[in-house]
Amino acid sequence: MPISTGPGSPQVVSSASGGKVYGYNNINETTARVVAQPNPSRAQITFCNPGANDMYIAPVNVQNTLGTAPTTPTSTPLTPTNAALGGCWPLFGNGGILVFTGECQGAYQALAKTGAGTTNPLTVNDSNI
* Largest separation between any pair of C-alpha atoms in the chain: 54
Q: Give me the pLDDT at residue 103, please.
A: 95
pLDDT band at 15 (very low <50, low <70, confident <90, very high): low
d(CA 117, CA 12): 38
Q: Give me the pLDDT at residue 67, please.
A: 60
Residue 51 has pLDDT above 70, yes or no: yes
Residues forming a β-bridge with 49: 96
Tally the domains of the chain: 1
Domain span including residue 82: 20-127
105 alpha carbon, distance to own chain's centre: 9
Q: Establish if 15 belongs to a structural domain.
A: no
What is the number of other CB atoms lying within 10 angstroms of the CB of residue 129?
13
Q: Give me the pLDDT at residue 45, please.
A: 98
pLDDT, one tens digit per residue, over 56-110 is: 999 999 988 666 666 677 889 999 999 999 999 999 999 999 999 999 999 999 9
Q: Give me the pLDDT at residue 64, please.
A: 80
The CATH number given to whatever domain includes residue 66 is 2.60.120.770
Q: Establish if 70 belongs to a structural domain.
A: yes
Q: Give me the pLDDT at residue 25, please.
A: 98
Q: Give me the pLDDT at residue 19, please.
A: 77
Q: Establish if 66 belongs to a structural domain.
A: yes
Q: Give me the pLDDT at residue 70, please.
A: 64
Q: Establish if 5 belongs to a structural domain.
A: no
Q: Establish if 8 belongs to a structural domain.
A: no
Listed residue (49, 47, 15) closest to 124, CA to CA: 47
Average pLDDT over residues 32-43: 97
Q: Establish if 1 belongs to a structural domain.
A: no
Percent of residues, the chain, with pLDDT higher than 70: 81
Q: What is the pTM of this model?
A: 0.83
Q: What is the average pLDDT value for the chain, to the nearest integer?
A: 88
What is the number of other CB atoms lying within 10 angstroms of the CB of residue 51?
22
